[in-house]
Structure 1
Amino acid sequence: MSATKTARSRAAPAKENGAAKVEEGLNLFKSDKFDADVYVKSKCSLNEKEIKQLCSYLLDLKKASAEEMRRSVYANYAAFIRTSKEISDLEGELSSIRNLLSTQATLIHGLAEGVHIDSLSVKVSDSNGDLSNLENRGSSDIEKWSVEFPDLLDVLLAERRVDEALAALDEGERLVAEAKQNKTLDPAVIQSLQSVQNAIIERRQRLADQLAEAACQPSTRGAELRAAISALKKLGDGPRAHSLLLNAHYQRYQYNMQSLRPSNTSYGGAYTAALSQLVFSAIAQAASDSLAIFGKERAYTSELVMWATKQTEAFALLVKRHALASSAAAGGLRAAAECVQIALGHCSLLEARGLALCPVLLKLFRPSVEQALDANLRRIEESTAALAAADDWVLTLHPTGTRQSGRSSTGSLGSAVQHKLTSSAHRFNLMVQDFFEDVGPLLSMQLGGQTLEGLFHVFNSYVSMLIKALPGSMEEEANFEGSGNKIVRMAETEAQQIALYANASVLADELLPRAAMKLSPLHQANYRDDTHRRTSDRQNRHPEQREWKRRLVNSVDRLKDTFCRQHALDLIFTEDGDSHLSADMYINMDGNVDELEWFPSPIFQELYVKLNRMASIAADMFVGRERFATLLLMRLTDTVILWLSNDQSFWDDIEEGPRPLGPLGLQQFCLDMKFVICFASQGRYLSRNLHRVVNEIISKAIAAFAATGMDPYR
């Protein structure tokens, strides 16, 4: 030990010298005029040698600081031990004080019990402490009881013996009321009873405040809370008790919410689930406690409903802020719908307790879900428009087996594989299929009709782009339904133009209605075969969806009408604007032709060739769905004949022209019309309307010929 001290004493002067040097170096920093910026700038121009010296200097400072800390610990170690000993002594004294207080409380309790037993035999639990007992003991005993009874109440309140205090208050009020009915009591006794009554009122209020304070404490829960609220109700302050009960449950779940943090991701399902659990569990427990304590009294039930509605609204605002807002803005319909479903699932459990709060949630969540719905539909429309600008309008089977979100869809993709569509139509169909995977929860929000309406407008916009892809389409048709100035690649060939019609007709007739069936509660998830699928579609489709499909077909008819009108005009008129179908071709036959060749006119031959060519193209495009091709060719034939029927200048020349219609012209005209009937019938695109119009045209031509005075049947 002595050797160690000697070594320390020898090392001490060296350390003290080093410490003195360090102390001198620190004087610069201790000065009141020290400027850190100036000091740093002065050191910034150091060379390598000076930098090394500075580093060495800083290392010395570090070592000196460590040594200073060590010395400080050794120097104050004794003070630390002394302080710890004093703290230990204080703990012993506190323990002694606690024992003394416990002994004093025991003594007070014993004294109270003695008073409780000996004071006029009037105990709270003693049913014989009635007015006759007081009367038998005389006025002095009543005055003595009047002095001791408030002290008894104070003891009960101090010891928080709530049930006994309630019983004592009720018993005291009964005794005072009965004593006051005695007309023979002295005025002094009556005054004493009045003081007791005032004391009872004051203690009753004190007990009520005590119970209210206990109910407001976060640590008061479960049975203790219900006991405090029930006691407060027994004191006659039911409205306050009910409000305190609801506030206690509110404060409890607000405290629990402090540990709940919103998710940093766009998907807030976990946050919604945790928050729903907290809020609706608190509401459920509050409803149970309210029913157990207050029963079904209308006033308390109404307050409970209003409170639960307010908490539900606050919950909805939190979910919208932290979960739905980002999802709706980004078009995350699935995430938004799942958040709503989670919240509704928890909320619906309250219906068993008589609280139907789901309509409140639906009303508040609806705008956010509508925003997500609109964003999804807008994304479908914009994505499809972008693909239409580069679509080569060639029908193909879909090459992949996954949808754009990466989720597999056996049923819907099977539908896509069975149909030949162009690239933009495939994309449109897959996005719609994916979209309807997300809209199932929207049924509970009564958004099914709005969903169908939005999808119709998106499809209508796509049809408008298909119309714009037709060469020479009218400007007002191309801009229909807001297609605006979107760039669309032109369909130059007849095959490409028929592909446009194939896109629209297959989507409107089969793919979109089948996807929309997911909005129906009768939707069948799996189908065994195509026949069974179409039968189920017809049986399960609601009137709303039938009307929606009819509107889709009407939108396709716009494309079909534009297609047929353009081909009819190309057939009838030349590039210079001259007509291939005029009255002169029939009127000028007589006198210029000696004998009828019994061969159709060139324009109807060209119509026949065009229809056959289109029928051959459509046969490859509409395998198994020849009905679409038949309807297209039928509409094209009708368009040409209807144009002839409605061409007033043609009939003016036939009926009132400079030259009358001759026998050869009438024969050629009838031959052309019969030729149309013949090839339309063979091609199976002869409609009743076409047959009727042709007969009317022939009759009109015969009437014009008969007006010249000649017999048309000669």
Structure 2
Amino acid sequence: MSPLSAFATLSDSVVVDSGMKFMDIIEDILAQLTPMAVMHFGANVLTRISQLFDKYMDMLIKSLPGPSDDDNLTELKEVIHFRDETDSEQLALLGLAFTILDELLPLAVIKVWSLTNESKELESENIVPNASITAELKEWKRSLQHSFDKLRDHFCRQYVLTFIYSRQGKTRLNALIYLSGEGADLYWDSDPLPSLPFQALFAKLQQLTTVAGDVLLGKEKIQKILLARLTETVVMWLSEEQEFWDVFEDESIPLKPLGLQQLILDMHFTVEIARFAGYPSPHVLRIASAIIAREIRTFSARGIDPQSALSEDEWFVETA
């Protein structure tokens, strides 16, 4: 039984069937190769398999909800209406793609390539398989990973955009939550807390972790890859969203030190989410640190002494 069958009850059967058909095509290609053909044309065959896998990833991307990279997101910032696929269905699709990438394709290819090393046909021709074959396989795996990363990043991007733009009021992530400072929106009177959007993010990731534990049972590697990338995507969005930063740079809008404190706490909280959940990401730490540094510069440029808002780093970490 194919390992892909495990996803049959969790995902669209059409998607599972497509994965099996994809592997049938690859196995048909490999079945036609002789050791001599691998020696002379192996690199071309690997390139062709990479191209087919890349096209298959593009097809799976279209099976996921959310805008593609070519879509204009401007209108989506008011309300995003994605198709109603469940988390379990989307995770099953990603699990299927990762199983092909990480298990089935390498197993099928290496099985054929290993026969080249044992070939009597090559011995009779005095041909010795060389190190270039190993290099070709490594490059091939990198190419496959790049294609899968497109699918992973699309999922993470649409998931984060849904989280950000579908929420309303105080749980919506935008610059306004760092401007009030009246106590109702920022939590510094006695027991500082992350802002409501980041508390909601934590709850959302916990929920997804639970679903992933069921859908991707035994596949801890892809679980951690997805959860780490989701966390990275949140801070990447915050770092790159110019509308967010325009609010702080608008001199007609008053800023308060409390807002800076809250943003710093939220960034430390995000780093701690990833660390304690078992998927620490140096990328998250770098981006969060860059966001904090940019915010400090922005507040300083507006005439606010950032030192009046800053505690020791250890305090922020412990509080987060």
Task: Pick the TM interval, shorter chain.
Answer: 0.7 to 0.9
| DSSP-derived class of the 2:181 partner | coil
The 8 Å contact of residues 185 and 195 in structure 2, kept in 1 or not, is answered as no
Q: Which residue of structure 1 lines up, in the alignment, with residue 91 of structure 2?
A: 498
Q: Which amino acid aligns with 1:639?
A: T
1:427 matched to which residue of 2?
21
| C-alpha separation in 2, matches of 1:569 and 1:444 | 45
- Using CA pairs under 8 Å that are at least 6 residues apart, name the structure with larger relative contact order, 1 or 2: 2
Q: Which whole-Å CA distance do the structure 2 matches of 1:580 and 1:518 have between them?
A: 51
Match of 1:231 in 2: none
Asked if the contact 2:10–2:92 (Cα under 8 Å) also holds between the matched residues in 1, the reply is: yes
Aligned equivalent of 1:552? 144
Q: Deviations over 1:603-625 (max 9, x none)?
A: 21222122122222222343443
Kept in 2: contact 1:448–1:519 (CA 8 A): no
CA distance in 2, matches of 1:436, 1:570: 41
Identity of aligned residues (%): 35
| Cα distance between partner residues in 1 of 2:156 and 2:186 | 37
Contact 1:600 1:668 in 2 (8 A): yes
Distance 1:677 1:445, change over 3 A: closer
- Within a 5 Å distance, the mapping from 1:535-550 to structure 2 comes to 542-550=134-142
Tell me, yes or no, if the aligned pair for 2:11 and 2:88 is still in contact at 8 Å: no
Rate the CA distance shift 1:685–1:460 in 2: closer, same or farther, 3 A. same
Deviation at 1:476, TM superposition (A): 4.6
Is 1:511 the equivalent of 2:104? Answer: yes
Letter in 1 for 2:151: L
Gaps of at least 5 residues in structure 2 are 1-6, 72-82, 119-130, 312-320
Q: CA RMSD in A?
A: 3.3
Contact 2:171 2:200 in 1 (8 A): no
Hey, what's the Cα distance between the residues in 2 that align with 1:445 and 1:541?
8
Q: Is the 8 A contact 2:260 2:295 kept in 1?
A: yes
Corresponding residue SS for 2:193: coil
Give the counterpart letter for 1:673 in structure 2: M
Consecutive unaligned residues in structure 1, runs of 5 or more: 1-390, 397-420, 478-489, 526-538
- Report deviation, 1:684: 1.9
State the Cα distance separating 1:579 from its structure 2 match.
Answer: 9.5
* 2:53 is equivalent to residue 459 of structure 1: yes
Count of residues in correspondence between the two structures: 274
Instruction: Note the C-alpha offset of 1:551.
Output: 0.5
Q: Partner of 2:74 in structure 1? A: none
- Give the alignment of 1:152-551 within 5 angstroms: 394=10, 422-440=16-34, 443=37, 446-474=40-68, 476=70, 492-521=85-114, 542-551=134-143
TM-aligned CA deviation for residue 469 of structure 1: 0.4
Match of 1:574 in 2: 166
- CA gap of 1:579–1:713, structure 2 versus 1, over 3 A, is closer
Q: Which amino acid aligns with 2:139?
A: E
Are 1:580 and 1:603, in contact at CA under 8 Å, matched by a contact in 2?
Answer: yes
For residues 610-689 of structure 1, the aligned pairs below 5 Å read 610-689=204-283
Hey, what's the Cα distance between the residues in 2 that align with 1:442 and 1:602? 63
The residue identity in structure 1 corresponding to 2:227 is L
Q: Normalised by the size of structure 1, how large is the TM-score?
A: 0.35
Residue-by-residue CA offset, 1:437-477 (whole Å, 9 max, x unaligned): 33235616823222222222221121111100011232759
Note if contact 1:572-1:581 (Cα within 8 Å) is conserved in structure 2.
yes
Residue 295 of structure 2 is matched in structure 1 by 701
Give deviations 1:572-617, integer Å, cap 9, x for gaps.
11389x9922211111224866963622222212221221222222
Q: CA deviation at 1:644?
A: 0.4
In structure 2, the partner of 1:103 is none
Q: Give me the whole-angstrom Cα distance separating, in 2, the residues matched to 1:560 and 1:621.
A: 16
Answer yes or no: is 1:583 the counterpart of 2:175. Answer: yes
Cα distance between partner residues in 2 of 1:462 and 1:510: 16
CA distance in 2, matches of 1:512, 1:593: 51
Equivalent pair of 1:456/1:552 in contact (CA under 8 Å): yes
Larger Rg: 1
Counterparts of 1:444 and 1:634, CA distance in 2 = 38
Cα distance, 1:425 vs structure 2: 1.7
Which amino acid is the alignment partner of residue 704 of structure 1? Answer: T
**Separation in structure 2 between the aligned mates of residue 509 and residue 594 of structure 1, nearest angstrom:** 45
